[in-house]
Structure 1
Amino acid sequence: MSVLVYGNGESRKVWDTTKSYTGFTTWGCNAAYRDCKVDNLVAIDYAMQQEIYKSGYAYTHDCHFADWATLEGFDPEFMKANYPPEYIFETPKRNQGSGYGWYDRTNCVVQGKDLETAENNYQEIISQFPHLDKEDVKRKCYKDAGLYITWLEDHDRVRYIEYPREWCAGATAMYLACQGGDENVYMLGFDLSEHDEPINNIYKGTDNYLSEESKGFNTDNWVTQLIQTFKDFPDTQFHWVVDSEASPLVCNNVQSISYEALDKICST
């Protein structure tokens, strides 16, 4: 088997992610569940995790979530006192069972980022990099701020990500995909960006994503995480799917490939 890993960069718009490809396992990130057919979904951000779970997708599809610790019989009501109402995001606790009437879910996942932390991060970045767009920085620092309470079903297909931790979704998906021991991993939509250019993301401007007018990110951390993945799996050949001859990163086991060439491989 080989692996297709879908990042959410706009370059992958040319690829049909709604198809199954014989001989390939597929991995996607965050909102890819909305319109992609993937065997495994990785989500890091709290808001996206809650959206995915609330949709019911996690009941029937393999999902990998960071910081997803189940609290059995836990009552999070007291925690709400620390957040304004508009920053509390909670899925329904009561649910209607099939033939059993209404019942209360008893297990939940509680996550959050308090507003003080968001503001401190904003102030620190602006003090160090005063040339950055202040409104753009504030949007990023306050993204996913709030308290997230997700009530769980007894049976789902969410797996807790033990390692890597605090990585971006794309690099995390890459690392997890490599643990299967496949020889060839194809990277689609892994578009590196710059903080002074428009944000590059297929889902920008949609729920739980930054707005379309947002700027990109400094991708130093993303690059570091990808390089670590390449080093940790030296026997894996990585194919970075791009529209240029050189791969964005120079590593012994990384080479570039065009979407046209990948299409031929997937069609054989």
Structure 2
Amino acid sequence: MEIDAKNIHYRVLNKMIRQAVAQGEREFVLRNVNGHRYLADGLSGPITMDIFGTPGQDLGAFMKGPRVTVYGNVQDGAGNTMDDGKIIVHGMAGDVLGYAMRGGKIHVRQDVGYRVGIHMKAYMDKIPVIIIGGKAGDFLGEYMAGGIIILLGINSIYPQRPIAGIYLGTGMHGGTIYIRGGAPKEQLGKGLSPTKADENDYRLLEGYLREYCQDFNLDLKEILSVPFEKIQPATHRPYGKLYAY
């Protein structure tokens, strides 16, 4: 189903999509998207959605299964509390990408904003993954409880900036952040344990990055030619001693 979203209010557009899904439609192409909010929110099952333009806030929130490909940038909150499925962004992403994400994958070709991956979590066999091709703003992985973030720093429009902003991993008490080339120590939040990635890490990275490279037609060997730093919390209770009992 192809929809020209120009001059269609986002509520009307979302209603059209949900009605089509209820009638059995599983493939969507949306053109001239410009700030339309809540696209693919709460949708479940094997649905594909190709979006041309810039979707608005909360793209794919609470999504469980669909594959959404954006040929452009995305605004804040994409993948909010996402349960499963995949979001592929052929541009940049805004703030709080993957907030409380608990499953699925988000692949971004270029830079992302602030507080990406905040409150990410994993449960049983569900391991949410965010791969960022460019650089990230402040508070990447803040309060992260599970899942994986991979930061590459290769497709950035900000060549002079560090690969990540300040307070990376602040309050982090689970999960793993992998950074290609590492991050300056002064950018890291307290209570983190950065180490060099080992053989097991590279096996994991190769699997995730092979899929990422296929999405964006990138060279896997080139990406893996630079060592990765692995960042994990030193404790699961980073603020445990701040309170009286």
Structure with higher Rg: it is 1
TM-score (norm 1): 0.26
TM-score (norm 2): 0.28
